[in-house]
Amino acid sequence: MKLFAVVAAGLILTACDDAYAAGHSAEPLLAENGMSLYTFDKDKKNTSVCYDTCAVKWPPYLVGQSTGAKDGLTKIKRKDGAMQWAKDGAPLYFWQGDKAPGDTSGDGVGGVWHLAH
């Protein structure tokens, strides 16, 4: 009976892990330059609230003049008129603390900044 309980518990944990993995990509979203991209919990869908000092620390991932569509990303308009990339309606940002491609030091900052997936 104990063996059955252990096997059943293992199957439940495996199913939970698989369900979590299906909804959460392990790989962070990166810009063309290899730098990690982040989302901000205080943003509204398709609307950035990160300006001024916030935007200095967390530069928005802006759309270039000649940039076409990006797979899975949309363009949103910032209040200053600039266009910014978004993923599932969440505006995307870089973090000033990341110094090299692949750095992820901004994940979890203030409990409101998260790696985009």
CA distance 95 to 56: 9
Local confidence pLDDT in tens for the 117 residues of the chain: 454 443 334 434 344 444 444 445 579 999 999 999 999 999 999 999 999 999 999 999 999 865 677 888 999 999 999 999 999 999 999 999 999 999 999 999 999 999 999
Specify the amino acid at residue 8: A
Closest among 85, 3, 103 to 39, alpha carbons compared:
85
